[in-house]
Amino acid sequence: MTCKSSSKKYAVGVDLGGTKICTAVIDSDGRVITETTIPTNAAEGPERVIGRIKGTIRHVIRQSGVYFDMIAGIGIGSPGPLNWKTGEVLSSPNLPGWDRIPLRKIIQQSFDLPTYLENDANAAAIGEHRYGAGSGVDNMVYITISTGIGGGIICGGRIYRGETGMAGEVGHMIVNPGGPECKCGNKGCLEAFSSGTAIASRMRERLASKQYGEWRKDCLSAKDVFEAAEKGVEAARKVVQEAIYYLGVGVLNLTHLFNPRIIVIGGGVANGSPFVVESIRQFVREKAFRGVAEAVDIVPAGLGALAGVIGAATLPFVREDENR
Amino acid sequence: MTCKSSSKKYAVGVDLGGTKICTAVIDSDGRVITETTIPTNAAEGPERVIGRIKGTIRHVIRQSGVYFDMIAGIGIGSPGPLNWKTGEVLSSPNLPGWDRIPLRKIIQQSFDLPTYLENDANAAAIGEHRYGAGSGVDNMVYITISTGIGGGIICGGRIYRGETGMAGEVGHMIVNPGGPECKCGNKGCLEAFSSGTAIASRMRERLASKQYGEWRKDCLSAKDVFEAAEKGVEAARKVVQEAIYYLGVGVLNLTHLFNPRIIVIGGGVANGSPFVVESIRQFVREKAFRGVAEAVDIVPAGLGALAGVIGAATLPFVREDENR
C-alpha cells in the first residue's frame, strides 16, 4: 500500500456504457491509480447493473490502496438523456429498463461520498480539458466516435451544458437530409453516416446487394470494415470514405460555429485508426475560413480509451471548483 | 431639447452594412432617441465611407439633443472578418478596399469617446439579449437572414466569440454537400440555400431554363420571390420552400448543438415574412429531441429591423460591464 498525504486528492470514476462499465481511481493530477472493466449486462435491468456498479467501485477503491477518507467523491459518466442537476438517468436506448433512475442518489447513499452524474461525452470532454489534449485551453469541442457519436463543449474554460443539459448533440447534426435514416427518426444525421454502428450497417447494405464471399457475415463490426478497406476491398473503402467525408463536414461545421482552439476526437472508431483524425484535419484545413482554420488544432484524445473514465473521475474535482 | 440627467446613460450605435449605414442614439433602457440611415456607397472606398460614418455620428448626436458628456461611448457593428480586440476591420467582401482598417481607433480619436467594434451579427445578438427577445436569458442563438446569413451566440449570459472572434458562422454550416456553390468556395452552406441573395439567384436559375414572361428579370430580389410564391407562381414556391426547409435543418442543428432557451431570428428575409419563423418553429418542434424542443422558443427579433443598430449602441454599456 502506497503512502498518501491526508488531503482528499483522489476520486473514483465510473464510465457506464451499454456494453461495459469501466471504473477507476485517479489522483488529482489525473493519473490512473487503478482501473477495471466489467461487462454491463444491460439486459439484466437497472437493479442488477447498479449492483455491479457498486461492486466495481468497492473493488477499485480496495485495489488502489487509497484510504477512504482521502477520496473527494465519485463521478459517473452515463449515456443520456439524463438530468445532471438531479442526478437521474431519464432513459437510454443502450440501457433497457432505465427510466428516471436516481443513480447519483443511490451511489451517494451507498458510499457516503459526494457523487456527480454527467452525460458520458461531457465527462470525457471535462477529462480531456483538465488532463488531456485540451489542457489549459479556453474553447474546445470534444467528439467521441464509437457506437454512436457524441460531443462535449468547453466554452470559456467550462463545460457548456445548455438549457437542459443536452447541448453538444454533435451526432444528430444533419449533414445531408437525403442521407440514411438515423435511429433518432431524422435522416442524414452525422451519426447515421459515421458512427461505428453506421459504418457496419452501411457495409452490410452493400454486401447484401452483391456477392462478397467471406465478407457476407452478420456480425460485421466497424473495425472489420476498416481492416477490409485497408486490404483494398472496394465496398469497404467506399463506406469508410463516406464516413470520413461526413466527419469532415461535421467537424468543419463545428469549427465555423465554435471557432475553438482545439477539437479533440476520441472514441473507438477514431482511436482505432489514426488516419481518421488526419483526414478530418486535412478536410478542415482545406475548407474552413482562414481565421478559424489557423486557430484550431484537430487532435486525437490525449487520454485515449480512458478519456471516459478519467473524465468521470474528474467530476468531483471540477464540480467542487465550479461551486466555489 | 429634452432635459436629461447627468450620468452617462446614452450611447451611439453604427450599423455599417454593404449598402447602408444606420446610426442611432439610444438610452440605457434601449430606447431609440434618434436614428438615421444613409447609403454606404461602399464603392467609394474606406476613406469616404469613414467620412460618412463620422458625419452621421455627428448628425445623430446633434439631432438627439443629448449632451456630449452624457454619452457612454460609440459601438460599431461591421461585417467581418474583423478583430474585435484591436478594433480593425480585416477585410470584407461587402466593403471593397477595406484591409486592416483600424476603424475603432479612427472613430475613437475623432470623437474622444470610448469606441467598440464588433461583428454585426454579434452586435445584433448582444442587442436582442439586452433589450429584445432574449432579454434575461442565459443561452441564446441569434440568426440574421438577409443578404447573407450570420449568427451570434450567447452562452451563460455573455457573447461567445470563440478563439479569434469568428464563432457563430451559422451561414457556412454545410447542410447538404450536394447543394449549390457558396461564395465561400464550399458547397451546400446554409447561406447558399436560404440567404436573400441565394433565394433570388436560385429563382433566376429556374427562370433561365423556362419561359415565365414577366418574371424574367435580372433585378429580382428575395422579396419579389416571396411575393410571387404567395401569388402561387410554382417556381417561386419551390425556391421559397427549399430555402425554408434548409433554414429548418440549420436551426434544428443549432438546437441540438446549443440546447438554447431561445433562438432569435432577424434580418430582412425573416422580418419580411412572418411565416419563415413559423415554418422553422414547426420543423424544429417536429424533429428535435423532446428535451431540447421543449426548452427552446423560436421567435422573430424583438428589435425588428433596428436589432443591428441598437445592438451596436449596446456595446458601450455591455463592454463596460464585461470589464468590471
Residue-wise DSSP of B151-172? EEEEETTEEE--SSS----GGG
3-state secondary structure of B287: helix
pLDDT at position B1, please?
Answer: 43
Span B283-297, mean pLDDT?
96
List the beta bridge partners of residue A24: A13, A35
Q: Indicate if B186 and B240 belong to the same structural domain.
A: yes
A177 touching B (Cβ < 8 Å): yes
For residue A119, give the H/E element and its range.
Answer: strand A115-119
Backbone angles phi and psi of A278, in degrees to 5: -60, -40
Q: Quick check: is B132 in a domain?
A: no
pLDDT at position A64, please?
Answer: 97
First to last CA, chain B: 33
User: Taking CA B19 as the corner, what is the angle to CA B236 and CA B175, rounded to the nearest 5 degrees?
Assistant: 45
Q: Quick check: is B142 in a domain?
A: yes
Chain Cα centroid distance, residue A25: 18
Q: Which position has the grid cell 461602399?
A: B42
pLDDT digits (tens, 9 = 90+) for A129-157: 999 999 999 999 999 999 899 999 999 99
B165 touching A (Cβ < 8 Å): yes
Q: Quick check: is B4 in a domain?
A: no
Could you give the CA distance from residue A118 to residue A103 in angstroms, rounded to a whole number?
11
Cβ partners under 8 Å of residue B246, min gap 6? B175, B176, B179, B190, B193, B194
Q: Indicate if B296 and B148 belong to the same structural domain.
A: yes
What is chain B's percent helix, strand, coil content, to nearest 5? 45, 20, 35
Q: Over 90: is that where the pLDDT of B177 sits?
A: yes
pLDDT at position B172, please?
Answer: 97
| Distances B284 to B152, B273, B280 between C-alpha atoms, Å | 19, 18, 6
Q: Indicate if B245 and B310 belong to the same structural domain.
A: no
**With pLDDT > 90 as the criterion, what percentage of chain B qualifies?**
81
Chain A partners of B291 at a C-beta cutoff of 8 Å?
81, 90, 164, 166
pLDDT at position B3, please?
Answer: 44
Q: Indicate if A269 and A318 belong to the same structural domain.
A: no
Low-confidence ranges of chain A (pLDDT < 70): 1-6, 210-219, 320-324
Question: Mean pLDDT of all residues in chain B?
Answer: 92
Residues in chain B: 324
Give the mutation candidate from A139, A149, A154, A163 for the B interface (greatest B CB count, under 10 A). Answer: A163
Q: Residue A243's domain is classified under what CATH number?
A: 3.30.420.40
Could you give the CA distance from residue B60 to residue B231 in angstroms, rounded to a whole number?
41
Could you give the CA distance from residue B255 to residue B262 in angstroms, rounded to a whole number?
9
Alpha carbons within 13 angstroms on the beta-carbon side of residue A149 total 34
Q: Indicate if B194 and B226 belong to the same structural domain.
A: yes
Q: Quick check: is B1 in a domain?
A: no
ipTM score of complex: 0.93
Q: Indicate if B158 and B292 belong to the same structural domain.
A: yes
The answer to whether A164 contacts B138, with C-beta atoms less than 8 Å apart, is: no
Q: Which three cell numbers stand for residue A219?
A: 456480425
Q: Over 60: is that where the pLDDT of B324 sits?
A: no
3-state secondary structure of B25: strand
Could you give the CA distance from residue A197 to residue B229 in angstroms, rounded to a whole number?
42
Put simply, the chain A residues between 80 and 139 with a CB less than 8 A from any chain B CB are 81, 90, 138-139
pLDDT digits (tens, 9 = 90+) for B9-66: 999 999 999 889 999 999 999 999 999 999 999 999 999 999 999 999 999 999 999 9
Give the total number of structural domains in chain B.
2
Q: Quick check: is A319 in a domain?
A: yes
Q: Indicate if A202 and A288 belong to the same structural domain.
A: yes
Q: Quick check: is A2 in a domain?
A: no
First to last CA, chain A: 33
Q: Between these two residues, A282 and B209, which has the higher pLDDT value? A: A282
pLDDT at position B91, please?
Answer: 84
pLDDT digits (tens, 9 = 90+) for B97-123: 999 999 999 999 999 999 999 999 999
Confidence category of residue B210, pLDDT binned at 50, 70, 90: low
Cβ partners under 8 Å of residue B217, min gap 6? none
Could you give the CA distance from residue B229 to residue B246 in angstroms, rounded to a whole number?
17
Q: Over 60: is that where the pLDDT of B323 sits?
A: no
Q: Indicate if A18 and A121 belong to the same structural domain.
A: yes
pLDDT digits (tens, 9 = 90+) for B230-281: 999 999 999 999 999 999 999 999 999 999 999 999 998 988 788 899 999 9
Chain A partners of B181 at a C-beta cutoff of 8 Å?
none
Q: Indicate if B100 and B41 belong to the same structural domain.
A: yes
pLDDT at position A220, please?
Answer: 86
Backbone angles phi and psi of B305, in degrees to 5: -70, -15
Put simply, the chain B residues between 265 and 304 with a CB less than 8 A from any chain A CB are 287, 289, 291-292, 294-296
Chain A partners of B153 at a C-beta cutoff of 8 Å?
257
Q: Quick check: is B242 in a domain?
A: yes
| Distances B215 to A163, B204, B224, B234 between C-alpha atoms, Å | 46, 9, 9, 12
| Distances B266 to A19, B132, B138, B231 between C-alpha atoms, Å | 46, 11, 19, 24
Give the mutation candidate from A253, A261, A298 for the B interface (greatest B CB count, under 10 A). Answer: A253
pLDDT digits (tens, 9 = 90+) for A228-264: 999 999 999 999 999 999 999 999 999 999 999 999 9
Q: Over 80: is that where the pLDDT of B214 sits?
A: no
Containing structural domain, residue B153: 137-301
Q: Indicate if A85 and A166 belong to the same structural domain.
A: no
3-state secondary structure of A159: strand
pLDDT at position A215, please?
Answer: 58
B176 touching A (Cβ < 8 Å): yes
Residue-wise DSSP of A123-153? HHHHHHHHHSTTTT-SSEEEEEESSSEEEEE
3-state secondary structure of A68: helix
| Distances B270 to A198, B179, B240, B266, B296 between C-alpha atoms, Å | 36, 22, 12, 6, 18
Which residue from A167, A169, A256 is facing B169, i.e. has the nearest CB? A256
Q: Indicate if A87 and A50 belong to the same structural domain.
A: yes
Q: Indicate if B297 and B218 belong to the same structural domain.
A: yes
Least confident of A282-296, B202-216, B302-316: B202-216
- Cβ atoms of residues B166 and A259 within 8 Å: yes
Alpha carbons within 13 angstroms on the beta-carbon side of residue A167 total 27
A140: nearest Cα among A290, A5, A265: A265
pLDDT at position B80, please?
Answer: 79
Q: What's the pTM value of the predicted model, to 2 decimals? A: 0.93
Q: Quick check: is A194 in a domain?
A: yes
